[in-house]
Chain A
């Protein structure tokens, strides 16, 4: 019996299970999104188009709530782009790990969001020749894509959401889920200070700048620390 094969089967089952549970937690918010979209005045096809084509929850909620609060279409579009900017950093990090090309690359790009990136990076990059990282990214991306779109549809046609996701503690569950995925990525004192620095900058800016900007501003910490520590290496 090949032990690596047995270990891989075990790891694979665990990764797929975790990916599915992330998909279900996120889907509850998909129902809210669908309901919000149609109550804001978007049609069902427009609401679905956002989940199918934009597929990055924070940008979708931002676009719809900017429209709902009386913002112009252009303001709503720019706000959604601002929210989506962090995905560019994610695909920079994930592309060399995924080793995709052609149509596969185009699909991977669309699936590059907070959850899939965090799951991909939470695995040991060297484990099973990188297969663990790749499976974690793909399984999470696909599970979230399918369930998020299904949930958006349910929310959009039933209009009234099934209840406030907060009463099930789902807001805390999503935060804790991402936290559990950042946890294994923090391997050194430098990583830890980057994590704390990013969190502090985001919280300090929260009251003074529009939503989305605080998280993006945390990139500054990675850039400064990366530049200083990278220069020592070169």
Chain B
């Protein structure tokens, strides 16, 4: 078990580290610069989509979907961050409490 814990941790740190040692002149090239700028947008959007519509390997529609819809409306009205998060939590929790969504 210690093998899995330590090898897993070492690899994950190495992955984080690799990104930080890429020389500046490579990152300054227009194509690389554009890609690095867009990478977090595509990865984080994908993460939000999976966190909203997926349970393990199944696509699902549950309380998270209306919660994210409520959050989107809140964002449109420039609601502060903490409130957006609270609105989503309360929507999902309430729908589940009243048995209206899984």
Contact = CB atoms under 8 A, between A and B. Distances in A.
Question: Does A associate with B in a complex?
Answer: yes
- Size band of the B side of the interface? 35 or more
Contacts of A76: 4, 8
Contact of B12 (A84, A105, A166): A84
A59 interface: yes
Contacts of B15: 81, 84-85, 87-88
B93 A168 contact: yes
A143 interface: no
Contacts of A80: 8, 11-12
A176 B84 contact: yes
A191 B45 CA distance: 11
Contacts of A191: 38, 41
Contact of B68 (A53, A77, A175, A206): A175
Which of A86, A183, A214 has most chain B Cβ within 10 Å?
A86
Given A73-B1, A175-B64, A180-B81, A225 B38 contact: yes
Contacts of B91: 169, 172
A9 B9 CA distance: 37
Main SS class of interface, A:
helix
Interface string A52-91: 0111100100010001000001001100110011111111
B40 A121 contact: yes
Given A81-B8, A206-B57, A172 B92 contact: yes
B19 A173 contact: no
Contact of A77 (B8, B45, B53): B8
A214 B46 contact: yes
Interface in B35-66: 35-54, 56-59, 63-64
Contacts of B8: 50, 54, 59, 63, 76-77, 80-81
Interface SS of chain B: helix, strand, loop or mixed?
helix
B40 A118 contact: yes
A172 B68 contact: yes
- Indicate the size class of the contact surface on chain A: 35 or more
A44 interface: no
Contact of A56 (B12, B53, B67, B97): B12
B9 A50 contact: yes
Given A46-B1, A73-B4, A176-B85, A198 B13 contact: no
Contacts of B50: 202-203, 206, 214-215
B82 interface: yes
Given A92-B20, A95-B19, A42 B5 contact: yes
Given A195-B41, A206-B59, A230-B32, 8 more contacts: A21-B81, A25-B89, A87-B15, A88-B18, A172-B67, A173-B89, A176-B71, A194-B42
28 contacts: A21-B85, A46-B5, A50-B5, A59-B8, A80-B12, A90-B16, A91-B16, A94-B20, A96-B24, A105-B20, A108-B20, A169-B89, A172-B89, A173-B92, A175-B51, A176-B71, A176-B87, A177-B81, A178-B44, A178-B47, A191-B38, A206-B59, A207-B58, A214-B54, A215-B46, A218-B46, A226-B39, A231-B30
